[in-house]
């Protein structure tokens, strides 16, 4: 399996060193760049592809959350900050995890392992792909068939999976569940929504009608809808 290419966006040299040392200690991670502000990171991302961003919130020029909102198709993001009050906003923006400084290596490893698992599932060969997933729902593992999923909605640190006959809440990010879904069956249409392509009834430039419900289309996702 290829390594997870990551960058650090952080203006504190000590924090950069801690993260860089942690990354160097994990065999499946590869640090490809460090940036002291989001503007420099943006320039880099225009010409390079990364799998994971370690992102501080209090950055000069452009704050971390504002930077995250500018990314149309963001890679996995792990927030690194000393301020816990931004956790809810972070999960609303589908970050993979939220690490509070000072960051312990054990907690760091848990976070990056989430990215590794998601990448492994995304790279699974099509002939080995299953037609279902198991999700943690109220302290048990629930099997959900892809064919029964209508849409998935982000609800802060949870996701709601709407199926043809039920609804399920699972504590995970939208990026995580997206990585587990077959790309030919599901499409991200908004920061907060993933829909089952086969269940789309109709659409406009701003809205999808699916199973009697209206789902908004984000500005950064409208090009795909024109190809339907």
- Whether residues 94 and 47 fall in one domain: yes
Which pLDDT value is given to residue 122?
Answer: 61
- Whether residues 104 and 84 fall in one domain: yes
Q: Which range marks the domain in which residue 103 is found?
A: 4-122
- Whether residues 34 and 111 fall in one domain: yes
- Whether residues 95 and 165 fall in one domain: no
- Whether residues 33 and 96 fall in one domain: yes
CA 151 remoteness from chain centre: 16
- Whether residues 9 and 113 fall in one domain: yes
Which pLDDT value is given to residue 92?
Answer: 60
What integer best gives the mean pLDDT of the chain?
86
Q: What is the pTM of this model?
A: 0.57
The total domain count for the chain is 2
- Whether residues 155 and 213 fall in one domain: yes
The 10s digit of each residue's pLDDT in 161-192 is 999 999 999 988 887 888 788 877 888 888 89
Complete DSSP assignment for 50-112? -SEEEE-SS-SSS-HHHHHHH-TT--EEEEEES-GGGHHHHHHTT-SEEEESSPPHHHHHHHH
- Whether residues 55 and 130 fall in one domain: no
The 10s digit of each residue's pLDDT in 39-85 is 999 999 988 889 999 999 889 888 888 898 888 778 899 999 887 66
- Whether residues 154 and 112 fall in one domain: no
Task: Check which CATH number belongs to the domain holding 63 and give it.
Answer: 3.40.50.2300
- Whether residues 131 and 157 fall in one domain: yes
- Whether residues 173 and 217 fall in one domain: yes
Q: Which residue, of 72, 95, 122, is where some domain finishes?
A: 122
């Amino acid at each position: 399996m290829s390594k997870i290419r990551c960058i650090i966006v952080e203006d504190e040299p000590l924090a950069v060193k801690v993260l860089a040392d942690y990354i160097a200690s994990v065999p499946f991670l590869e640090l490809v760049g460090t940036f002291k502000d989001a503007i420099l990171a943006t320039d880099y991302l225009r010409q390079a592809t990364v799998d994971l961003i370690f992102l501080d919130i209090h950055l000069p020029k452009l704050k971390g959350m504002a930077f995250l909102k500018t990314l149309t198709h963001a890679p996995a993001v792990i927030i690194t900050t000393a301020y816990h009050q931004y956790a809810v906003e972070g999960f609303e923006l589908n970050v993979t995890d939220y690490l509070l400084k000072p960051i312990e290596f054990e907690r760091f490893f848990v976070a990056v392992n989430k990215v590794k698992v998601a990448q492994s599932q995304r790279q699974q060969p099509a002939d080995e792909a299953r037609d279902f997933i198991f999700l943690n729902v109220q302290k048990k593992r629930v099997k959900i068939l892809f064919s029964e999923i209508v849409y998935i909605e982000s609800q802060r640190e949870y996701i709601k999976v709407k199926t043809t006959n039920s609804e399920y809440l699972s504590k995970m990010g939208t990026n995580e569940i997206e990585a587990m879904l077959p790309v030919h069956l599901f499409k991200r249409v908004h920061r907060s929504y993933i829909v089952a392509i086969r269940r789309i009834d109709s659409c406009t430039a701003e809205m999808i009608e699916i199973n009697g419900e209206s789902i908004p289309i984000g500005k950064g996702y409208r090009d795909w809808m024109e190809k339907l």
